Amino acid sequence: MVRRELREHIFKLLFQIEFNEMKEMPEHIDLYLDCLERASDSDKKYIRDKFELLCERVEEIDALINTYATGWKTSRMNKVDLTLLRLAVYEMKWDEEVPVKVAINEAVELAKVFSGEEGPSFVNGVLAKIAD
């Protein structure tokens, strides 16, 4: 799988934390990964590992988002946009393999697919402030 596909799967798993308790997520992850027929074992490990690392920092990430999302708090945000922001902020701040510009661009591209009409510009705007 290419990095974009892996990122999309991480996004889909991360989206689930808004609707499931964290103690339930290991089972959800297993079920999700079992359905990925094209994914190699190393792809599945990458998805799982990055998801788990990201979840460890959700509170810290949300604090950053709340600081830079002028007029918005994570509790009021569209859940798709919030999930995209969480993923991108993690990549920008803690994933040394992903350049900041790539993290922002990928989040915007995912917003074009999964978010509403305003999603891409909202995601881009918040991430641009965080990147500065």
Q: How many Å apart are CA 51 and CA 125, to the nearest integer?
A: 24
Neighbours of 96 (CB within 10 A): 7
Q: How would residue 1 be classed by pLDDT, with cut points 50, 70 and 90?
A: confident
18-27 average pLDDT score:
90
| Side chain identity, residue 101 | K
In angstroms, how far is the first alpha carbon of the chain from the final one?
A: 31
Q: How would residue 14 be classed by pLDDT, with cut points 50, 70 and 90?
A: very high
pTM as predicted: 0.94
49-82 pLDDT per residue, tens: 999 999 999 999 999 999 999 889 999 999 999 9
Residue 20 has pLDDT above 90, yes or no: no
Q: How many Å apart are CA 67 and CA 85, to the nearest integer?
A: 13
Sign (positive or negative) of CA dihedral 29, 32, 34, 36:
negative
**Residue 80 three-state SS:** helix
Q: How would residue 132 be classed by pLDDT, with cut points 50, 70 and 90?
A: confident
78-107 pLDDT per residue, tens: 999 999 999 999 999 999 999 999 999 999
